[in-house]
Amino acid sequence: MLLILLGVLVLHLIILILLIVSTAASAWTVGGDRSSDLWYNCMTTNGGYHCKPASNEDWLQAVQALMILAVLFCFFSLIAFVYQLFRLVKGGRFFFTAIFQILASVFVMCGAIIYTVMSPDDAKVVFGYAYVLAWVAFPLCLISGLIYIVLRKKE
């Protein structure tokens, strides 16, 4: 039982770290010497590293909001997990934790989908590591939420 609990907690922490890195790093689109989105467009010229704020488009702001909400909900679910670990009655299910975790996964999915559909099509531009992390975090988050639905506190 303790092993399962530890495994579930470690998975949750990994998901939280993935989400935080994906949201904070401005590397959703990279191309040559520049990396842009979600927060800054940075370019490495021979002078140095120049950054300017990302564009004000509405879809980009929506992706920012959804990623921040995903991080927040994953964090709330972690707190709910720790709380329910000590306060839940024997045989109870971790419903609050599961709901928050599943909502977080839905938000990451929506954010990643919006970014995929709306990002401008440039020739030399490829998706960066932050984008990949967001797509990796989504199924992990969903699986983690489903595990919490199935998990029961031992009698």
Partner 1 sequence: MLTFLALASVVLLGIVPERSQAIVIYTGWERHALVGSDIRLSCSFFSWRWTSEDVTFSWTYRPDGSRDSISIFHYTGGAAYVDNKGPFRDRLEFVGNPGRRDGSILLKNLEFADNGTFTCDAKNPPDIVGRPSSVRLLVFEKVPIQAGVITGAIIGVVLGLLVLIVVIYYLMRFLVARRVFSLSVSKHGKKKKEGSQQRQGPAPPADPSKVKAAASEKKKQESRKDKK
**Using CA atoms, how far apart are residues 66 and 93, in angstroms rounded to an integer?**
27
Out of 66, 106, 130, 142, the only residue in the binding site for partner 1 (CB under 8 A) is 66
CB 19 within 8 A of CB 71: yes
Out of 5, 25, 62, 146, the only residue in the binding site for partner 1 (CB under 8 A) is 62
**Least distance in angstroms from the C-beta of 5 to partner 1:** 20
CB 91 within 8 A of CB 131: no
**Residue 38: how many other CB atoms lie within 10 Å:** 24
Residues 79-108: x where in contact with partner 1 by CB under 8 A, - otherwise, as a string: ---------xx-xx----------------
Instruction: Classify the C-alpha dihedral 68-117-15-144 as positive or negative.
Output: positive
Which listed range, 10-18, 25-33, 55-63, 113-121, lies at the site for partner 1 (CB under 8 A)?
Answer: 55-63
18 or 54, CB closer to partner 1? 54
Distance of alpha carbon 132 from the chain centroid: 11
Task: Give residues in contact with partner 1 (CB under 8 A).
Answer: 53, 56-58, 61-62, 64-66, 68-69, 72, 88-89, 91-92
